[in-house]
Structure 1
């Protein structure tokens, strides 16, 4: 019996080795495809192709009596690994007329874009905002200035000084969750090309495949369409929105922060010790739970945040509505009116 088990396990080991060889050959083909994509400025991620592969292989799996879900999971793992493998190379440079890109930043997202632009063969200079000493030479021959900062009053004043000295038609890219009240001020000071980006991904992401970024064209979009195409080559999904949609999106994000600050962080801040004790009994590491996701944001400049969320009368009205909804649900919970609570979340 044990002999038979060993023989069968040895056969599995042989098949596993063959499987590794097949994956290796597949990655070699992926590399060749990547070179062709790079040559012809094609994006890494082609959703139609990926969808087609999954559909076909699911059908083949059913024909062979294998779980299609299993095959789909295996294929997604292999495909995602292929994306990582493909992104290790350099990317095709879209605009050869861009001679110098300056990134002024105080966060990891600025560093991430620096890495991606260098991989695309652009000449990139990176300056930490806190170390930035204004010198006209820093901007004189700059084609693109990317601002990626966590907004505070002092940093915003520095930013304004930079904007006043930007060369004509220098592309200004704001890579930050900068609120509309500040965008309005910026667009009045600088009349050149302005693009606002809001990444819907974390700078820790290894690859950008299937990740999205919001793009809001403020001024003169013809000057930076190439940058949009460059991000597509990185694998990003571009979601174009207008200034009204952008403002609305940022307000919703602000509302989310508002609820987190008042209902979530403030409550848990008071309850941190007893919660930690209770969680330890459940073998849940307290430090791994994201109880304070926005703590740093608020601590940097809470006054600026409050001014931003409350600058509009509509924002104030919406916050009051939000609180009324919450009070209504709390009252229904007290009265144990379960059906009424459920009906609130039923959409017609």
Structure 2
């Protein structure tokens, strides 16, 4: 019996080697495709192609008696690895003659654009907000083709008049989360092209394929449409959104999240709850809790204050949030089981109808 098991295991070992060789051949083909995409300025990520591959392989797996979910899991891992090989740390540069891109930033978002633009072959000058000398700014504003700004609102008010010395048609890219506030500061004074961007992903990731960046048109979009195309070449999806709707959505994405963390952590503090014990008891969501708490308290409190307070009608929105909590508490307190079930069903229907798999 043992001899038979050894023989079968040897056959498995041979098949494993065959699998490795097949994967190597597949990745070599992927590199060739990546080179063609690079030469023609095509995006790395084609969602329709990936979706079609997975659908076909699922059907074929089912026909031969293999779990479709198992095959999809394997294929998803292979495809993600393929994107890394296809990218090969180089992207088509759509504006090779563009002058220096200046990035003024106070957090990781600016560093993300610095990294991606360098990989694409652009000349980058990166300055942190705290290191920028406003009295000696003329030298770094010379021969600038684009300026990417990700600074605090008070600092933006200080620097805005200095932007008048930028070259004509220099593209200003604003990365601030609250576009109504930043655009109200920028547009009346700076008359060149203005674009608003807001990344919707964790910038610590190694690969940004399938992630999203929202964008708002500010002025003279014909001058910066190439940059939106450049972002797509990186494999990132871009979505246009109206500035008012953008800020309304960001309120729900960011402000209510911070408001919740603030109220939750205040509750823990007032009740002298041990965070270590909560993290231990809440596994496997320890990492998620730690990530939220850690990132919430490492930045300037003014950022969170702005996100919570600076939206129009934000107090009314927070009031609605609190009312919804009170309504849920009333149902729980009075054991309104059927009404609670209806709420769950409504949320399930909302997710089914609005979230793409």
TM-score, normalising length: structure 2:
0.88
Aligned to 1:191: 191
Q: Structure 1's 279 and 229: CA in aligned 2 closer, same or farther, altered over 3 A? A: closer
- Corresponding residue for 1:321? 320
The question of whether the paired residues in 1 share the 8 Å contact of 2:61 and 2:71 is answered with yes
Structure 2 match to 1:43? 43
Q: Does 1:170 align with 2:170?
A: yes
Alpha carbons of 1:49 and 1:301: their partners in 2 closer, same or farther (altered >3 Å)?
Answer: closer
Quote the residue 1:337 is aligned against. Answer: 336
* TM-align CA RMSD: 2.4
Q: For 1:288 and 1:302, how far apart are their aligned partners in 2?
A: 20
Q: Which residue of 1 aligns with 2:210?
A: 210
Helix, strand or coil: the match of 1:101?
strand
Shift in Å, 1:316: 2.4
Residue 145 of structure 2 aligns with which residue? 143
Q: Quote the Cα distance in structure 2 between the aligned partners of 1:181 and 1:152.
A: 8
Listed as ranges, the gaps of 5+ residues in structure 2 are 350-357
Describe the shift of the 1:167–1:281 C-alpha distance in structure 2 as closer, same or farther (beyond 3 A). closer
Distance 1:45 1:196 in 2: 23
Q: Distance in 1 between matches of 2:226 and 2:283?
A: 51
1:64–1:345: structure 2 CA closer, same or farther, 3 Å change rule? Answer: closer
Match of 1:267 in 2: 267
1:238-253 matched pairs, under 5 angstroms:
238-253=238-253
Please say which of residues 18-27 and 128-137 is displaced more in the overlay. Answer: 128-137
Deviation at 1:99, TM superposition (A): 1.9
Offset, 1:301: 4.8
Please give the per-residue CA displacement for 1:185-235, whole angstroms capped at 9, x wherever unaligned.
Answer: 222221211111110111112112111110111111101000000011100
What runs of 5+ residues in structure 1 fail to find an aligned partner? Answer: none
Q: Supply the distance in 1 between the matched residues of 2:304 and 2:204 (Cα, whole angstroms).
A: 26
Following superposition, the deviation at residue 170 of structure 1 comes to 0.9
Q: Find the residue that maps to 1:244 and give its secondary structure.
A: helix
Shift of 1:108: 1.4
1:71-86 counterparts in 2 under 5 A?
71-86=71-86
SS of aligned partner of 2:104: strand
Q: Which residue of 2 aligns with 1:53?
A: 53
Matches of 2:156 and 2:16, distance apart in 1: 57
Aligned 8 A contact 2:176 2:198 in 1: yes
Check 1:180–1:254 CA distance in 2 against 1; reply closer, same or farther (3 A cut).
farther
Relative to 1, partners in 2 of residues 1:203 and 1:190: Cα closer, same or farther, differing over 3 Å?
same
List aligned pairs for 1:81-96, cutoff 5 A: 81-96=81-96
Map 1:77-156; keep pairs closer than 5 Å.
77-134=77-134, 135-149=137-151, 151=152, 153=154, 155-156=155-156
TM-score normalized with structure 1 length: 0.90
Question: Partners in 1 of 2:240 and 2:303 — Cα distance?
Answer: 29
Q: Does 1:26 align with 2:26?
A: yes
SS of 1:217's partner is strand
Give 1:72 shift.
1.1
Could you say if the C-alpha distance between residues 302 and 116 of structure 1 is closer, same or farther in structure 2, counting changes exceeding 3 Å? closer
Checking the alignment, whether the CA contact within 8 Å between 1:276 and 1:286 is kept in structure 2 is no
Q: Say if 1:170 and 1:193, in contact at 8 Å, map to a contact too.
A: yes
Q: Is the 8 A contact 1:139 1:165 kept in 2?
A: yes
- Tell me what 2:70 maps to: 70
Tell me how far apart the structure 1 counterparts of residues 314 and 306 of structure 2 sit (CA, whole Å). Answer: 15
SS of the residue corresponding to residue 240 of structure 2 reads: strand
